[in-house]
Amino acid sequence: MAKKSAKMKKSKAPKEKPHTPPAKEKASKQGAETEELLSSEVVYQGKLFRVLHDRLIEPGGKKSERDVIRHNGSVVILAIDKSKSKKDPWIVMERQYRHAAKQYLWELPAGKLDAGEEPLVGAQRELEEETGYRAKKWKPLVEYYGSPGFLGESMKVFQAEGLIAGDAHPEEDEEIEFRLVKLSEIVKMIEKGAIKDGKTLCSVLLYARKLEKKRKK
């Protein structure tokens, strides 16, 4: 009996459940985690944006210092003409020189918002200023951040239809060439690498996907 009892397995102690720190537990209950901003200093103020040096505690509890570009936000307009074809509509495209990219780029019409300006109002203004077009029907397509690692600029994309042609009146520092291009041609340009502008890639491909899904229904 002594030998038999010596070979008996010892019962294992129950495993402890991983402990969730109170702060994270509280955050998870609230459904969101937020940072704690310790200080924020404007290190550059320009016409279009400002650069801040922020000290903060991130949601996970890590102390951090970040240089962030703050911006009023921008609007992008996917202006669509379905008068000739609903399956392959024409899109208003612009070509202009971009100093930061050191090249001409094909893009959708877009522009910055004024402080406190409603995004839809800004989109309507930008489309008419840059191309002369107005639109009867407007709806949001998508919102995204182009480079959220350091750029706080949100870009709101609007889909505009029922186009009415007019006279463009761009700003003095803008030299913009615009034209109507078939959606299928823009997609081909994207596939060939001829379009490098992020807002145009995102907006056109999303719209093309939505249009294709609509056809299949």
How, if at all, do strands 177-182 and 90-98 pair? antiparallel
Local mean pLDDT, 10-residue blocks, the chain (217 residues): 42 46 43 81 91 93 93 96 94 95 96 94 96 97 94 96 90 83 97 97 97 87
pLDDT at 128: 96
Tokens read off for 110: 């877009």
pLDDT at 153: 93
What Å distances lie between residue 10 and 2, 6, 14, 18, CA to CA? 15, 10, 12, 24
| C-alpha closest to that of 197 among 63, 67, 100, 66 | 100
pLDDT at 7: 43
How, if at all, do strands 74-81 and 154-164 pair? parallel
Q: How far apart, in whole angstroms, are the C-alpha atoms of residue 98 and residue 58?
A: 35
pLDDT at 216: 83
Q: Are 77 and 158 in contact (CB under 8 A)?
A: yes
The string of pLDDT tens digits covering residues 155-192 is 999 999 999 999 888 777 778 899 999 999 999 999 99
Domain boundaries, the chain: 34-70, 75-142+154-216
Q: Exposed/middle/buried for 115, CB within 10 Å: 0-12, 13-18, 19+? A: exposed
Tell me the DSSP string of 71-138.
---EEEEEEEE-SS-SSS-EEEEEEEEETTTTEEEEE--EEEPPTT--HHHHHHHHHHHHH--EEEEE
pLDDT at 2: 42
Which CATH code for domain 75-142+154-216?
3.90.79.10
pLDDT at 29: 40
> How much is the mean pLDDT over the chain?
86
Dihedral sign of CA atoms 105, 192, 133, 74 in order: negative
What Å distances lie between residue 107 and 98, 146, 182, 190, CA to CA? 11, 14, 14, 11
211-217: long-range contacts, CB 8 A cutoff, minimum separation 24: 211/183, 215/87
| C-alpha closest to that of 76 among 44, 108, 105 | 108
Active site residues: 172
In degrees and rounded to multiples of 5, residue 69 shows phi and psi of -90, 120
> Which residues partner with 3 through β-bridges?
none
